[in-house]
Amino acid sequence: MKIAHNHTHGRTACACNSNCCSGKDKTVIDNLQETKTVSSTGVELHSKSSVLPGLTLGKINYTSVLAKESAVLTQVPAKTPVAKQDSLKKTQFRLSGLDCADCAAKLEKRIKDLPGVMEANINFGAGKMTVSHTTALETILDTVKVAGYRAELDGQAKSTVFRISGMDCADCAAKLEKKLQALPGVTEAQVNFGAGKLSVRHTASVETILQAIKAAGYEGQLANEKGQPSQKSLFGDHKVLLTILSGFFVLTGFILTYFHMSEPIVTGIYLAAMISGGFYTARSGLYSLRSLSLDMNFLMMVAVVGAAAIGEWAEGATVVFLFALGNALQSYTMDKTRNSIRALMDLSPKEALVRRNGQELRLPVEELVVGDILIVKPGERIPMDGEVVAGQTDVNQAPITGESMPVEKTVGLEVYAGTINGQGSIEINVTKLVEDTTLAKIINLVEEAQAQKAPSQQFVDVFAKYYTPAVIIAAILVAVLPWLFFGQPFQLWFERALILLVVSCPCALVISTPVSIVAAIGSAAKKGVLIKGGAYLEEAGGLKVIAFDKTGTLTEGKPEVNSVIPVEGIRQEQVIEIAAAIEKRSQHPLAEAILRYAGEQNIQMSEGTDFQSFTGKGAGLQLGREYYFIGNNRLFEEMKIPLHSLQEQIAALQKRGNTVMIVGSSQEPLGLIAVADKVRESSRAALAGLHAAGITKLVMLTGDNTGTARMIAEELGLDDYRAELLPDNKLTAIQQLQQQYGKVAMVGDGVNDAPALATATVGIAMGGAGTDTALETADIALMADDLTKLPYAMHLSRKALGVIKQNIGFSLVVKAVFLVATFLGLANLWMAVFADTGAALLVIANGMRLMKVGDPYSDAATKPNQSSVAYANA
């Protein structure tokens, strides 16, 4: 039994958690009423528990009273509400991290044992927990978290994105993430160091999270708040001004020392340098100590205090100044990198000229709705995604697709927010809200991509996890052991221990990969290539083989009917009429070509019944008393319909690059329709650029016939082709290529070839600006509907992979050199700080080079035969 006693009113609630029944409840009440200090009792039953809210007890021995009936007695804390029927709540939670049924049973028991919990039931299969309780929700959430799992109110948790300022170290970002994950009411927290953002899934209030961010030493604000800070100038930050002041004091101290000024005065000058330059470092260090998460700021604070303690004021002041200067430069360069993506937000106008009820109004884009008519004048940026309903113009789509030439836009064509109108005036029907525009999706996906950890980053994180504690332990041993056991001077080895503390910070190593990925992904987005994570950037950097879907990728995807050849006794119109009747129900590009041709020839399409589709082969339809088919050789072979008289004509048409479709009844063929899909003008140069960028094998996968596939492969300079593939065969072909060559990319439209894209090491989709499917299914999306940016994407990926390896290697070498130099007595404190912050700045600068990687193909696009030379020189 659980008992809650209200000391003010002398009322106590009892809850029996044994296997109670109403009979036992009555016996217990009788026993209690026999006690003189009990004035009244009452019983209310809730499922398997008994609650007695009416007891008024004095000083009684609850255990002795209840022992007669073997009831289990537990006193409920006085702060727990009395368990009345009207205060009892039933709450459902969603659990995560619960992977075993036995664990679920143990957690259920743990929750049931909480004071104020009447009933708890966990549905392991659904990952849900239902609790009947009077205790606070935070108590239940905390208990689940302590047990090693996560819980959130089912259907009530929300996701919020915060923008963080002052977060200039990747290791500090990881510690902030860990701190927030431990916050009550937070079920998930992810810090995107590259974008300077924090994503939190929570039931706790936004104010609670903001306070936690501030307590960690950073400033946070909701990401969607207006007036987000733009990049500060290097000298517009008060931290930088304090750093300059610190540098002035250090320089003054050096000059005064040179002229042998009084030691107390010089010491005071150096102390002023420490205070001015180390204020923010000390504050962050104290936050770190308070949260028991030792970061670089804490280690630096200990090193400086230690230096002052042994009288090395000049060295301590120099260390503070160099560290503050390094932080200021690191903050500035990281802001510059982050702003490469934030600049995309400024592409779209904040206001738009809209026509409503016959009036022209200028409104914020947030107030626009689908169906609004916008007026865009010559030279203005287009504010929203929409469809042209009046006017004609050329639009510069480079901010979205990376296309160098303006694209003509007429009535019925789609335009994108952030693109630039040419010389014409147009009216646009808004088709998407401001948060759903293509530009908004690009920004969102890029920032998500920057948060994804690449394989190299995972290695760095594991290394740093063990490296820092190991070096700190080594520093403690270095400070103590030589002095205790070998009679060495304490100050000498204490100073070396302080140097080790500085060397123990893995800042340069931890930041080496994120800064490279942020710079590369941001640069690619500006050029019309959306890379959806560091993992895909690294994988693309190691590719040797790329496979292509033919239709709509290497070709324009708009096939046209070249010729119609009926058998003897059949008219062309009959062949087209039958073919069009069947293809009217199909979505295949070849079907569209036949329907267009039928329309041009003014041929009426009959209505049929019993339509059947034969995947990868063709289709059939009942017309009148006869069943007709249209398809390839395989379909008619399976139907046992002889094609002997047409084989030579089929072969001749295929050799000329046609896709041949056979039309026939269930008894005989009636004719041939030759359809050809034009090769994209940009394909040949793009493939040449890929070869020059280091891709050794280019393979075409197509369901088309062998003759057509061979002709296109020869025309484009492909290394291999696989023809007559069913959709499932393309997936198998990718798997075979992976077994043979390792990493393989697949390029397609992201719709018909989605399984193959998902199976490939890197899935690349074209036309991301025009279709949400391409953005969602691909690992890399080419925003323009052609291959011109693919060589650039491979070129950038290889550059990025090289830079990441350079940064990691350089950071490890610097650490190794200074560890050895410290033990040999060849390094001092300020040298260690200079090396640590200097190394961090160098890897940032090296990573930022990726922001300036150009697109050699754009210059060679107009001269395809020069693309190989352009890439070779890039």
User: Which sequence positions are flagged as catalytic?
Assistant: 549
Burial class (CB in 10 A: 0-12, 13-18, 19+), 783: buried
3-class secondary structure, 780: strand
Do residues 743 and 537 lie in contact, with contact meaning Cβ atoms separated by under 8 Å? no
| Biggest CA pair distance of the chain | 118
**Backbone angles phi and psi of 747, in degrees to 5:** -115, 125
Q: What is d(CA 664, CA 231) in angstroms, rounded to the nearest whole number? A: 69
Q: Which residues of 333-342 are buried (b: 16+ CB within 10 A; e: fewer)?
A: bbbebbbbbb
Q: What is d(CA 676, CA 683) in angstroms, rounded to the nearest whole number? A: 16
Q: What is d(CA 591, CA 580) in angstroms, rounded to the nearest whole number? A: 8
Do residues 661 and 653 lie in contact, with contact meaning Cβ atoms separated by under 8 Å? no
Q: What is d(CA 631, CA 498) in angstroms, rounded to the nearest whole number? A: 79
Residue showing tokens 């299969």: 125
79: tokens are: 């702060």
Do residues 12 and 74 lie in contact, with contact meaning Cβ atoms separated by under 8 Å? no
Sheet holding 697-701, edge to edge: 529-531, 780-782, 762-766, 744-748, 545-549, 697-701, 720-722
Sheet holding 669-676, edge to edge: 560-566, 669-676, 659-665, 626-631, 618-623, 609-614
For residue 853, give the nearest of 799, 804, 805 by alpha carbon: 799
For residue 707, give the nearest of 650, 669, 762 by alpha carbon: 650
For residue 11, give the nearest of 59, 73, 55 by alpha carbon: 55
Q: Rg of the chain over CA atoms, in angstroms?
A: 36
CB atoms under 10 Å from CB of 510, counted, come to 27
Torsion on CA atoms 451, 453, 456, 458, rounded to nearest 10: 130
Residue showing tokens 């009345």: 84
351: tokens are: 């206001």
Residue showing tokens 């209310």: 44
Do residues 529 and 520 lie in contact, with contact meaning Cβ atoms separated by under 8 Å? no
DSSP for 810-835 reads HHHHHHHHHHHHHHTT---HHHHHHH
Amino acid residing at 237: D
Do residues 174 and 294 lie in contact, with contact meaning Cβ atoms separated by under 8 Å? no
Torsion on CA atoms 801, 807, 813, 814, rounded to nearest 10: 180
Which residues are 12's β-sheet partners? 5, 55
Q: What is d(CA 511, CA 841) in angstroms, rounded to the nearest whole number? A: 10
3-class secondary structure, 767: coil
Q: What is d(CA 729, CA 723) in angstroms, rounded to the nearest whole number? A: 10
Q: What is d(CA 578, CA 623) in angstroms, rounded to the nearest whole number? A: 8
Q: What is d(CA 36, CA 56) in angstroms, rounded to the nearest whole number? A: 11
Q: What is d(CA 162, CA 164) in angstroms, rounded to the nearest whole number? A: 6
Q: What is d(CA 501, CA 486) in angstroms, rounded to the nearest whole number? A: 22
For residue 407, give the nearest of 433, 432, 426 by alpha carbon: 426
Q: What is d(CA 75, CA 72) in angstroms, rounded to the nearest whole number? A: 10
CA 583 to centroid of chain Cα atoms: 41
